């Protein structure tokens, strides 16, 4: 129940953005994997010693016993979180908030397509963009690891880690989607939707530093990402994944209800 012409138009409008973000993530990913070489890895350990506060804030702490742990430590505390969040904020604005603010959504609704059909198309376009970004960087990560260090990456564990990462970002997408559906002015989308995502990430960084700041971890949904639980083999993975899925369903559902009932600017 979507509009294929609108879906194709959305894809044509967003592929360049996704390509730029993918290129940046690929650069960081390949460089970090390349630095697993013992002759280079000491550089990252030296950074942990020289800049403990900064490295802790971005989640780059710990001693890696294998390639999978190394990739997790140096990519999943910052790079794999920040770039998809940027994608979520841009897509949320480009596909929903800007359409509503500019009155273009009213033009779309003047077509034979229902309000629900238009919303589902825009939502699917957003979720497809996030999913594509995570899937491609996962494939690039596996390919790079196998090319440089054959057989050293725990591929099933790595795929599980990225599946959880995708679910996590789909949940964060709901944080952007809900305000975009509630408000008619894009400034409120950026203030609340994008603003909350940035604020939650800052809380995560503060919580990572530990000490008196550790309580900030309990003020952010980033705590739900079970990356460390997956790498450590912890049993909390399923519970956190269910929590992320439940939160995503609630936010997308509430957003759809609000969009269906709201008066749109023309």
Measured CA to CA, the distance from residue 56 to residue 101 in angstroms comes to 39
* pLDDT score for 26: 97
Number of independent structural domains in the chain: 1
Below-50 pLDDT ranges, the chain: none
205, part of any domain: yes
200, part of any domain: yes
Q: What is the DSSP letter of 156?
A: H
Q: Tell me: the pLDDT tens digits for 200-255? A: 999 988 888 877 788 888 889 999 999 999 998 887 899 999 999 999 999 999 99
* pLDDT score for 49: 62
| CB burial string 168-191: b at 16+ within 10 A, e below | bbbbbbbbbbbbbbbbeebebbbe
153, part of any domain: yes
Which residues have CB under 8 Å from 212's CB, separation 6+?
A: none
* pLDDT score for 45: 66
43, part of any domain: yes
Domain span at 251: 4-261
* pLDDT score for 121: 94
254, part of any domain: yes
* pLDDT score for 16: 94
266, part of any domain: no
Hunting for tokens 């942990």 — which residue is that?
48
* pLDDT score for 33: 92
């Amino acid at each position: 129940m979507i509009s294929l012409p609108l879906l194709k138009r959305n894809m044509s409008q967003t592929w360049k953005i996704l390509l730029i973000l993918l290129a940046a993530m690929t650069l960081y990913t390949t460089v970090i994997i390349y630095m697993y070489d013992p002759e280079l890895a000491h550089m990252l350990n030296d950074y942990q010693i020289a800049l403990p506060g900064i490295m802790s804030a971005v989640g780059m702490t710990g001693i890696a016993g294998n390639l999978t742990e190394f990739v997790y430590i140096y990519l999943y505390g910052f790079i794999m979180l920040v770039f998809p969040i940027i994608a979520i904020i841009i897509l949320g604005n480009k596909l929903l908030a800007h359409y509503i603010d500019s009155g273009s959504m009213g033009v779309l609704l003047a077509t034979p397509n229902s309000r629900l059909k238009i919303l589902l198309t825009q939502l699917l376009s957003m979720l497809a963009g996030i999913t594509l970004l995570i899937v491609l960087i996962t494939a690039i990560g596996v390919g790079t690891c196998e090319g440089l260090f054959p057989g050293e990456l725990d591929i099933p564990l790595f795929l599980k880690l990225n599946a959880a990462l995708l679910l996590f970002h789909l949940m964060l997408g709901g944080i952007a989607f809900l305000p975009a559906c509630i408000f008619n002015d894009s400034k409120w989308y950026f203030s609340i939707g994008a603003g909350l995502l940035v604020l939650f990430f800052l809380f995560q960084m503060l919580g990572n530093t530990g000490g008196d700041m550790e309580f900030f971890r309990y003020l952010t949904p980033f705590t739900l990402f079970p990356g460390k639980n997956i790498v450590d083999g912890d049993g909390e993975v399923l519970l956190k994944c269910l929590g992320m899925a439940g939160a995503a369903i609630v936010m997308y559902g509430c957003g759809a209800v609000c969009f269906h009932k709201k008066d749109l600017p023309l």
